[in-house]
Amino acid sequence: MRPTPEQLQAAQGTTIPDVTGPGLRVLFCGINPGLWSGATGHHFARPGNRFWPALHRSGFTVRQYRPDEQGELPALGLGITNVAPRTTAKADELTAEELREGGAALRERVLRLRPRVLAVLGIGAYRTAFGKRQAAIGRQPEGIGDTEVWVLPNPSGLNAHYPLDALAAEFRKLRQSVEGADTP
């Protein structure tokens, strides 16, 4: 579905449900839903967002899923949530307070869902939401309860610092760590 300009405008400030289930290996966490996601009800829905290609190229999925297939992820041990629930045209429309409040709510969600790993997709949002100004891409020294925390690059097509191959390589490091933990 390609949203009309009117549908995109109407999506401003809406929310979309998380994709979760029991026994998640990885809960991927975007910054917040964009207008395409708000209009379609699917995470990482905007053409040019590289989440779905990176997920596949890293080996998390055997094929590239489409945003409208997000409901199939929990069966693979994968889920999706966001730091801030409000849809915006750009993530920089969020306030630091919204990100901090979202970080607190995310902490509670992680403690309730207990995924093996929380993977936050965006270093700046992670730093603000969790007050970790020196955080870097990769596994973080502090988890949330029993959940490891990783920070991965933002898959937005606007993130020119990470071409798709580099983004997939960071996702792959996470997958290899998770699979290593799966091995007895």
Report the CATH number that the domain containing residue 86 is assigned in CATH: 3.40.470.10
Q: Determine the pLDDT at residue 184.
A: 53
**Beta bridge pairs of residue 82:** 30
pLDDT at 57: 97
Supply the pLDDT for residue 139: 98
CA gap 44, 155 in Å, rounded: 9
Percent of the chain with pLDDT over 70: 98
- How does pLDDT run across 149-184, given as a tens digit for each residue? 999 999 988 777 899 999 999 999 999 999 987 665
When pLDDT is averaged across residues 50-72 and rounded to a whole number, the result is 97
Q: What is the pLDDT of residues 94-150, one digit of tens each?
A: 999 999 999 999 999 999 999 999 999 999 999 999 999 999 999 999 999 999 999
Quote the tokens at residue 105. 């709510």
pLDDT band with cut points at 50, 70 and 90 for residue 1: confident
User: Residue ranges of the alpha helices (H) in 18-84?
Assistant: 35-40, 51-57
Instruction: Domain of residue 68: give its range.
Output: 5-182
CA dist., res. 35 & res. 147, Å (int) = 30
pLDDT at residue number 158: 77
Q: Hey, what amino acid is at 3?
A: P
Token pair of 1 as six digits? 């579905």
Task: Give yes or no for a contact between 121 and 28, defined as CB atoms under 8 angstroms apart.
Answer: yes
How many structural domains is the chain composed of? 1
Q: What letter represents residue 28's amino acid?
A: F
C-beta separation of 109 from 120 below 8 A: no
What is the helix (H) or strand (E) element at residue 170, kind and residue range? helix 164-182
119 in Cβ contact with 27 (< 8 Å)? yes
Query: 115: closest CA among 153, 74, 63?
Result: 74
Residue 173 burial (CB count, 10 A): 15
Q: Which of 183, 106, 100 is nearest to 143 (CA)?
A: 106
Q: What is the pLDDT of residue 157?
A: 80
The tokens for 102 are: 């979202």
